[in-house]
Structure 1
Amino acid sequence: MSAEPTNNLTTSQSGIGRVSKIQPVSHFFLEGTDFTQTAEQSFGVIDAQKFRTTSTVSFSGTKNIYALCMGTVFVQPQAGDANKVNLVLKPYRQPVNGLNIKYIVYRGLQKSDLIVSDGKVAGSETEGVGFVRYIWGQFNQFYEGEEANKIPDFVAGFIGFPHTAEALTAQDETHLIDQYFYKITLPNESNPAEEDATTAYELPIVPRGIQLGTAIGEVGIDIILNQGDYLLENDPNPFQYNLKYARLASHTLDTSTLTDDFKKKLLRENCTDFLDIAAFYGLHANGAGKMYVDEQNKPLIEKNAIYARIQSFHNRNRFYLYIQSNRQRSYNFYGNYAYSEANTNDLKIGTSSDTLIETTFATQGWPIHVFQQSQMGSQDVHQVTLQLTTDSYRDAGLFVQTGVLASAQEENFVRQENLLQEATEDGSIDTNYTQPIVFATPAMGEHTIASFAQIIYEGKLFFVQEYAPPPEPDQPSLTPETHILKDIDDVFGLFNVRSSVVPAHDQQLPTIVDEKLQLINFPNGVDSTDMGAIKYKKVEDQLLKDDGSYLSRVTFETLLYSIKKEVATFTRSSSGHSDSVSTHTQSYTNESNSFYKPQKPYLLGTKVFTSSLTPINGLILETTFNHLPTKKILGITASEFQALQELATTHNLTYARVFFKSLFSEEGYITSIEEVAYKTSILGIVTENSSGTLQVFFPDNEILVYTIDLFVFFSQSYSEFIPDAIQALYPQYQTPELP
């Protein structure tokens, strides 16, 4: 693999799956290269009970600290040191495409650079560190032309810092950080129309590379990955991204104070939300990255120059492996990937297929696997090879979100013969493991340059039991039904959550996006399936009915991130349209409908059919270019959604997903008297109980959903009032025959 910056494509060894290199652009957070880091200061596993999320470095004297990327700034006091502050930077422009960073937390900046003793912002438009000069300039520009007595003091509250005892009390340490970036406010009992004083400001946005401040002797930094801009009500996870976390001098995940085994497991899952700063900067050494440093205008591009910048990190040669599996949990979270009952190993890993060592994924129980092994010779690229356990089921698949594959793949998807091994007559091939999956990562001679790979893998059928209520007295216990989790049972959730984006008024309803990628299959035109990596969103809307009442509804919609399509002549090809949506709100009025509809190129059409003597306004999903859709939609009423949500509340359940139980066979269609073929499913939830066991629950009153095309699923009440968007826009449009 070339290190030339103009070569921005990479390919596997077989020549299959040519994909673009990632092109990171960021600023090194610290001035100079003369810093040190001990093992005790570095990111990662301390022992089986502790995981350090903060990477701390030491140096002599005072150093400048820089904004890693363009972002919004929120300043907090540092616990235990009145002379220091911590700074939370929320990326406005992501430094690495495909790597969604939620927050960067700087720990240990000098308070006097930012705030003076009377609680005002330090400096002026011409004096002070770069950050205060920049925001003073914005402040002066905003109030230009105002009378002097109408210009407020530029107090520290405008950058989030609680500059008075009253403000500090108002900023309770249990408040989530999101509350201050998204203006989530509690009702003001004395004046409900007045905005809460703790969020009565707009936090400043600063450019990449601006001097944020200075630090003396040491500074710490956390990188937090984004899983979605929403808040989980009654979250059982013992760790929260709150002000207590934001104010620490250094942060460590610690299970030693917990007694509940499942809560320990949940806490360990949190380590996958964090990224080592050394590995982040190591991504830039692929020949396509740009690392800006200090006050220089020209970025570092060459691998040796970038490695020189990260060489003082203790973890400079570590390769981190993140594997997400079923239900967005880490690999083998549910114990379903162990090789066998007698062999708990689930991973083989090494520098080549000849040097693989069988082991257990994770590092001392923390679900990030650290690989660090010198490789002989003077090489530009090292290889990390691994195999994962599988039962060779036909829909097994793997997608690489971050990382460079050097083995056979299809645009970062690995499936079918590229993933599954074929048995041999002599039994020399162990088909309980996948094909070797090979990653290429930049190196300097025998040393790997710090980096990481993010994988989504679903390689085994997953079985789960239906909840069986306790038997009546003197009655035998019920035998629970066992279900196979289908890919669609692993997608739609967002129960008991609220949006981080606060509605401006009561006629705004939220759209919430789950940012974690998942794998799903879409029917294609060659009697097969296309594998896609998707996010999904939950949309609330209200329909104004003819009688003047409202019908509240909930719509789930997948958002395509990447797809591997089967291409064949004379068939409808699948759409490759990628979706880009973030959490937001949308408005409706009392006079007209502003109901949900998919964005272009998608359209909802209708086909009326009769099921059990009930007329159904059937929905189909089409595209304006006559491609097969690469999207799945579930539409139910708010009351139906609430019935599912109450199951989780009643039984003290968490992490629920919608479960589709086929009313008849999984494969067969029913044909209505109108000659419309359709399928019917009963909705339930698949969820974790308080001990972490997965179970399927169904409400007492059945919720039925139908599908004609396997793309859109809908209840009878949901679809009743939907007009045919296709015919409205294209009167001459003829719906193609479904495959």
Structure 2
Amino acid sequence: MEEMPETSAQMQGLTTSQEGVGRVAKLQPVSHFYIQGGNQAGDFTQVANQSFGPVDENQFRTTATVSFSGSKDIYALCMGTVFLQPQTGDTSKINLVLKPFKQPVNGLNIKYIVYRGLEKSDFVTTDGKVAGSETSGTGFVKYVWAQYNKFYNAENGETAPEFKASFLGYPHTTEEVQLQEGTHLMGQYFFKIASVDETTSEEDPATAYDLPIIPRGMHLGTAAGNIGVDIVLNDGDYIIENDTLPFQLDLTYARASFFSIDISNEADAFMKKRLKEVATKFIDIAAFYGLHANGTGKLYVDEVETPLTTKEEIALRLQNFHTKNNFYLYIQANRQRSYNFYGNYTHSAENDNTIKIGTNEDNLSETSFGTSDWPIHIINQAQDPATENNTVTFQLTTDNYDGAALFVQVGELASPHEENFVRNTNLLQELSTDPTVEVDTNYTKALQLTTPSIGADTIAGFSQCIYEGKQLTAVDAINSEEEYILKDIDDVFGLLDAKNVFIGDDQQLPKIVDETLQIINFPNNSESNDIGAIRYQKIEDKIQINESEILERVTYETLVFNIKTTNNSYSTGSSSHIDTTSTDTHRFSNHDNNFYQLALPYYLKPQLFTDGNQTITGLFLEIIDGGMPSKKILGISKDENNRLKQVITDNDLSQCKIIFKKNDDFYENEIKKYNLHIIAEGTSSSNQIFNPLEDIVVYSIDNFVFVSAEYSKYKIFETNELRIDFTL
């Protein structure tokens, strides 16, 4: 089935809270049901040990498998790029990895959809060619054959070479198998830069493939007896150098008949915790389809042109999943770790519970977050059959600091909020003036999410929340008695030891995006803070100083995903510009400066000042049409960045971010001076601060831009007319 025209805005149909305050557009998912049928009780079955989720405290199944009699057609859930792999243990099966080209749910970033157990004969012949033809076979092979023939017919009528399955990623010959190692990350196959032999003009066999992009709803092939599916969430397309985590999205994972995170043989307690975090990178396919039942979703099925749109129709498609009534609550807390990963969200020294949760405020149970000790809380509880939607209500622990906040990335809030942000009086409780009323201010106010239901039964669904309800502290790695309270700019920028997934040469300068959201405050002109949910990117560039000298730099920049701004008639409010970008590369040429520049409407403006005998070029962040910026930027030289990376290598650190320790030996108006340090997890889940051997100093004039003297020494200044002057 070809991709159907759809509205460009996936978030329509506003919901409100507080009588119109906190208007939020509903998600408008559009996808295709992956398996033929499903609307009858006998179409397929799923038992407990085939379903997504925790098996016990040591095993978490990421693959949702269903069984059926005979064979069934399998469809592309969304528009995406296809990569074929053999299935381990069964030479008659093939696994297909679909990387979304167009996300089926705006706001939910999916990295891969892994189909496990398609019939190999639908895709690959016994001699390693692509099966079928332009007029025969499955929808997928007919489509790729048509594209293949079209390409070669356009080349002056030349005869097309053999259409090898390896062109779609599937290895057949001994050489092809040897080129694909199980430890290879899938990302390097989706993001390749071809290498051509200058002598033979032939492409290097290691990159001699061209993965096709197919439309949503395409008939991929058939499965006999069963089919498994993983949905992997996207935290970014990058590689962590020397990553010690045993789990990776590699070819071994891609080829498995099903996959479970298994920690039973892991002896190290901290590594067990890190492995359990991996579960939050997957979602249940039943819950994914349940998102379509909010009244604005479209779910296409089989070869039917008209989508399902009502919750009754969509619930019928989910009836055979064992998890059809599960609601999954994902909560990310400080440092992009799951709620209470660091043990800092227990109620008190006498009470180690972390959450109160139930269907409504009158039946909350105090417990520890997470089902079977995994960092996802699963609720499956019948509710009032008279209600149109069911509710999940919870209270989280807090220390009541003024920056405490929650953002709902996926989910529909029924309790008071500001465009899915919850803070201040919407979040924190106050002591009662009535001495007979006891208020436990160790917990937030009750927060309530709604989910569609049929009678008393919740339709499978999930919610992703980001919560920072307690200030986080860290200790000095050398002097454990020296405790440091993290401020807002601390612990935002990481990716120090991340590598771009693109395969290229030294002239390809990488840009890497961390897709995992964080909450951050931005000052405004109303003597308060705007609040934003941000991603961030790391960009490398080079400045040609003269014919023989080049300055290599690294820029870290926040990217607004969602923001709640405060505007009034007396002052210009913050910019509500939403940033869009993705991991890629840009090319350096020593004949033409192609330094990194901010995307409009932002530009940088210089100001000179002195620190002792040194003249420093500080930078302001400006907006073309005025207003306060909603962006934070850190700029350092590549040499300075490498010194921070060396701290990671020397101390075998994970979850590394940059913190800014104020240097009080410098005073000049409002200009601030900071020393950069690393906050990280060493061999335990405690947060420690590690110092580079040599100080790395940055300055900030406006609390938005933080740059080292070396970074801005040869800065290309951008004016509000966007003229460019290169100043040494």
TM-score, reference length from structure 1:
0.93
CA–CA distance in 1 between the matches of 2:206 and 2:713?
45
Write out aligned runs for 1:517-528 (5 A). Answer: 517-528=517-528
Aligned-partner Cα distance in 2 for 1:222–1:378 = 34
Post-superposition shift, 1:148? Answer: 8.0
Matched ranges for 1:81-480 at <5 A: 81-144=90-153, 150-183=159-192, 195-425=203-433, 426=435, 428-468=438-478, 480=481
- Judge conservation of contact 2:197–2:204 (CA < 8 Å) in 1: no
Contact 1:487 1:519 in 2 (8 A): no
Q: Which residue number corresponds to residue 496 of structure 2? A: 495
- Return the offset for 1:697: 1.1
- State the distance in 2 between where 1:328 and 1:6 align: 25
Q: 1:729 to 1:241 in 2, by over 3 A?
A: closer
Q: Which residues in structure 2 correspond to 1:535-550 (within 5 Å)?
A: 535-546=535-546, 548-550=548-550
Is the aligned partner of 1:575 residue 2:583? no
Matched, 1:27 2:32: yes
Amino acid at match of 2:512: I
User: In structure 2, what is the Cα distance between the partners aligned to 1:16 and 1:386?
Assistant: 21
| Residue of 33, 36, 43 corresponding to 2:52 | 43
Query: 1:542–1:60: structure 2 CA closer, same or farther, 3 Å change rule?
Result: same
Write the distance in 1 (CA, Å) between the matches of 2:154 and 2:515: 44
Q: 1:368 to 1:147 in 2, by over 3 A?
A: same
CA distance in 2, matches of 1:47, 1:188: 50
**Distance (whole Å) between structure 1 residues aligned to residue 624 and residue 127 of structure 2:** 61
Aligned to 2:680: 687
SS in 1 for 2:592: coil
In the superposition, the TM-score normalised over structure 2's length comes to 0.95
Is the contact between residue 184 and residue 500 of structure 1 (CA under 8 Å) also seen in structure 2? no
Length, aligned pairs only:
709
From 650, 664, 670, the equivalent of 2:667 is: 670
Preserved CA contact (<8 Å) 1:361 1:367: yes
* Residues 723-738 of structure 1 aligned to structure 2 (within 5 Å): 723-726=716-719, 729=722
| Structure 2 CA distance for partners of 1:578 and 1:6, relative to 1, 3 Å | closer
DSSP-derived class of the 2:371 partner? coil
Match for 1:80: what amino acid?
A: G
Please report how far the alpha carbon of residue 545 of structure 1 lies from its aligned counterpart in structure 2 after TM superposition.
Answer: 1.1
Structure 2: 5+ residue stretches without partners: 1-9
Tell me the CA shift for residue 437 of structure 1.
0.6
* Separation of aligned partners in 2, 1:172 and 1:295: 37
**Structure 2 CA distance, aligned partners of 1:570 and 1:156?**
65
**1:707 pairs with 697, 700, 703, which one?**
700
Runs of 4+ in 1 over 4 A off after TM superposition: 145-150, 187-195
* C-alpha distance in structure 2 between counterparts of 1:441 and 1:554, whole Å: 43
Structure 1 residues 706, 6: closer, same or farther in 2, change over 3 A? closer
CA deviation profile, 1:405-447 (whole Å, cap 9, x unmatched): 0000000000000000111242611111001110011000000
Give the CA deviation at 1:693. 2.4
The one-letter code of the counterpart of 1:482 is E
> Any idea what the Cα deviations from partners look like across 1:211-241, whole Å, max 9, x if unmatched?
0000111111000000000001111211111
Q: How many Å separate the matches in 2 of 1:547 and 1:165?
A: 48
- State which of 8, 11, 17 in structure 1 corresponds to 2:13: 8
Aligned to 1:640: 640
Identical-pair percentage? 52
Tell me the residue number matched to 1:737.
none
Q: Secondary structure at the match of 2:388?
A: strand
Query: Which deviates the most, 294-303 or 140-149?
Result: 140-149
SS, match of residue 488 in structure 1: coil
Matches of 1:193 and 1:718, distance apart in 2: 41
Q: Secondary structure at the match of 1:724?
A: strand
Q: 1:179, CA displacement in angstroms?
A: 1.7
Q: Over aligned residues, Cα RMSD in angstroms?
A: 2.0
1:666-714 Cα shifts (integer Å, max 9, x gaps): xxx933xxxx530111111101102232110111221111101000001
Q: Is the 1:14–1:408 Cα contact (8 Å) retained in structure 2?
A: no
- Look up the equivalent residue of 1:107 and give its one-letter code: R
Instruction: Judge conservation of contact 2:17–2:415 (CA < 8 Å) in 1.
Output: yes
CA distance in 2 between partners of 1:522 and 1:149 (Å): 60
Which amino acid in 2 is paired with 1:111? K
Q: Per-residue deviation at 1:721?
A: 1.3
Quote how far apart the aligned CAs of 1:495 are.
1.7
The Cα of 1:547 is off from its aligned counterpart by: 6.2
Q: Which amino acid aligns with 2:659?
A: F
Shift of 1:324: 0.6
CA contact (8 A) 2:385 2:457 kept: no
Deviation readout 1:607-660 (Å, 9 max, x if unpaired): 111122321111000000101100000001111111111011111112210110
CA displacement at 1:257 relative to structure 2: 1.4
Maintained 8 Å contact 1:236/1:263: no
Q: Which amino acid aligns with 2:425?
A: E
**Which residue in 2 is equivalent to 1:475?**
none
Q: Deviations over 1:292-346 (max 9, x none)?
A: 0000010000110010001110000010000011111101111111111221111
How far apart, in 1, do the equivalents of 2:569 and 2:319 lie? 52
